[in-house]
Amino acid sequence: RILGSQKHIEKSHDYEFLKPWLGTGLLTSSGKKWHPRRKILTPAFHFKILDDFVDIFQEQSAVLVKRLEAELGKEQGFNCFPYVTLCALDVVCETAMGRQVNAQCNSDSDYVKAVYQIGSIVQNRQQKIWLQPDFIFKLTQDYKNHQKCLGILHEFSNRVIHERKEEIRRQKQQLNDKNNNNNADDLLSQEELGRKKRLAFLDLLIEASQDGTVLSHEDIREEVDTFMFEGHDTTSAAISWILLLLGTEPAIQDRIVEEIDQIMGGDRERFPTMQELNEMKYLEACIKEGLRLYPSVPLIARRLTEDVDIDGYVLPAGTTAMIVVYQLHRNPDVFPNPDKFNPDHFLPENCRGRHPYAYIPFSAGPRNCIGQKFAVLEEKSIISAVLRNYRVEAIDRRENLTLLGELILRPKNGLRIRISRRT
């Protein structure tokens, strides 16, 4: 009644604290702005564009695999969360902006640190009611740090947008000059070069902006920053939880590797293509089951714009409705033995007849996650790369973990796994 409605698409007050960074981009905007913006952005996640992004997923996965070598043979294991987060940050920077920040090799970069810090400041504000009024928040050290982070984040985005616009303008000029010269051979080579050049999310936004008539510079920055925020924390949490879950089930892990070997003809040297990633159905079932048990976004909050009747109870307009995804996914009537990690829940025969809103890791209805195909492809790329090289063993037991329902669902003290080389 709430998620499926075209009316109840206003986000709750909690999202206000993200607006200094993200403005009113796709995540935080209200209906009037959200509807046309969603329409403009949907083509950016077309499968042909995702095909370009797969190369980036693979390259950054290879860096992650190389960095994990440092943890080989460590009996006490290590926290996989920081490694995966930096990998996801590298992926999202290159896919969103076409820029490499090399977070995995340089986690001291100001931009990387600012992304981390602003997230924890926003979280702190959401949790502590006394920090929510602006006039109190502005008296705190957190506010000073917040403003410093904003300066770094916006300066980086603005600079990249300006540079990219200038590059595109120069390329168009060169093409026009070549057209005027009627040099067919030159034109052909230019087109070939154009085909090989990977498009970033930013390029698609600049194209859609129609020289500022549809999207202003500010609008473009809002969406790039939103993609940066939404695209790294959520996928890194999902991948980390799934690696831990697979570390508890060696037989499931072996079954994934068998599937990968079968699809790729046993070739462990090359990267899988997009088509091969799409064929990894059992890996996909494992990812879905991981997102069922540990949804990256554990809560969805909406502000009701009119009264809603649910089973004879009236929720008045102005109420904040919280959908607790974590709890919803543990309904024993839908998922028998709901706390068990069981990828078979997502085999086609077991999904038949299941209510479409019984499983909503990417939300549901008109305001569902625009990047869900992007996220699953990235998760497949990174998890398959890790499993093809390493056998994963969980050190932390699930029942001993303390969960924090922050902006994303994260473990209080990280997730410890042990790795050994897969022969």
Report d(CA 164, CA 208) in Å as an integer.
14
Q: Residue 189 has what pLDDT? A: 46
Query: Which of 5-9, 96-100, 187-191, 383-387 is predicted least confidently?
Result: 187-191
The pLDDT, as a whole number, for residue 195 is: 41
Residue 77, phi then psi, degrees to nearest 5:
75, -170
Give the closest residue to 249 by CA, choosing from 213, 220, 289, 209. Answer: 289
Res 423: pLDDT: 78
Average pLDDT over residues 288-294: 97
Q: Residue 370: pLDDT above 70?
A: yes
Q: Up-side HSE of residue 275: CA atoms within 13 Å toward CB?
A: 2
d(CA 220, CA 202): 8
Does residue 113 have a pLDDT over 50?
yes
What is the rounded CA–CA span in Å between residue 319 and residue 2?
12
Tens digit of each residue's pLDDT (9 = 90 or more) over 305-362: 999 999 999 999 999 999 999 999 999 999 999 999 999 999 989 999 999 999 999 9
Give CA–CA dist 300/59, Å, rounded. 33
CB 206 within 8 A of CB 220: yes
Report the percent of the chain where pLDDT is more than 70: 96
Average pLDDT over residues 395-411: 88
Which pLDDT value is given to residue 205?
Answer: 87
Banded model confidence at residue 187, pLDDT cuts 50, 70, 90: very low
| pLDDT(299) > 70 | yes
Mean pLDDT of 355-373: 93
> pLDDT class for 198, splitting at 50, 70, 90?
low
Q: What is the CA radius of gyration of the chain?
A: 22
pLDDT in tens, 211-223: 878 888 999 999 9
Give the model confidence (pLDDT) of 65-86 as tens digits.
Answer: 999 999 998 899 999 999 999 9
Enumerate the domain spans of the chain. 13-179+202-421
CB 301 within 8 A of CB 273: no
What 3 state SS string does the chain have?
CCCCCCCCCCECHHHHHHHHHHCCCCCCCCHHHHHHHHHHHHHHHCHHHHHHHHHHHHHHHHHHHHHHHHHCCCCCCEECHHHHHHHHHHHHHHHHHCCCCCCCCCCCCHHHHHHHHHHHHHHHHHHCHHHCCHHHHCCCHHHHHHHHHHHHHHHHHHHHHHHHHHHHHHHHHHHHHHHHHCCHHHHHHHHHHHHHCCCCHHHHHHHHHCCCCCCCHHHHHHHHHHHHHHHHHHHHHHHHHHHHHHHCCHHHHHHHHHHHHHHCCCCCCCCCCHHHHHHCHHHHHHHHHHHHHCCCCCEEEEECCCCEEECCEEECCCCEEEEEHHHHCCCCCCCCCCCCCCHHHHCHHHHCCCCCCCCCECECHHHCCCCHHHHHHHHHHHHHHHHHHEEEEECCCHHHCCEEECCCEEECCCCEEEEEECC
Question: Each residue of 228-258: pLDDT tens digit?
Answer: 888 888 999 999 999 999 999 999 999 999 9
Residue 369 marked in a binding site: yes
Residues paired with 324 in a beta bridge? 299
pLDDT band (50, 70, 90) for residue 193:
very low
pLDDT at 183: 54
Q: What is the mean pLDDT of residues 397-401?
A: 92
**pLDDT of res. 325:** 95
Sequence-separated (6 or more) residues with CB below 8 Å from residue 15: 27, 28, 301
* Alpha-carbon span 148 to 116, nearest angstrom: 13
Give every CB contact of residue 318 below 8 A, 6+ residues apart in sequence.
303, 304
Distance from C-alpha of 111 to C-alpha of 131, rounded to nearest angstrom: 25
Per-residue pLDDT band for 197 (boundaries 50, 70, 90) equals: low
The two most distant CA atoms of the chain are separated, in Å, by 73
Range with lowest mean pLDDT among 16-25, 108-117, 386-395: 108-117
What per-residue confidence (pLDDT) applies to 215?
86
- Partners of residue 260 on adjacent β-strands: none
| Confidence category of residue 15, pLDDT binned at 50, 70, 90 | confident
Query: What span, in angstroms and rounded, lies between the C-alpha atoms of 127 and 119?
Result: 13
Question: What is residue 188's predicted lDDT score, i.e. its pLDDT?
Answer: 39
Distance CA 59, CA 127 (A): 37
CA–CA dist 318, 296 (Å, integer) = 27
Instruction: Decide: 128 and 406 in contact? Cβ < 8 Å.
Output: no
Enter the tokens of residue 114. Answer: 């600012």
Rounded to whole angstroms, the Cα distance separating 26 from 34 reads 6
* CATH for the 13-179+202-421 domain, from 3.30.360.10, 1.10.630.10, 1.10.490.130, 1.10.10.10: 1.10.630.10
Higher pLDDT, 162 or 185: 162
Overall average pLDDT of the 100-114 stretch? 83
Mean per-residue pLDDT over the chain, rounded: 88
Q: What mean pLDDT do residues 93-105 have?
A: 86
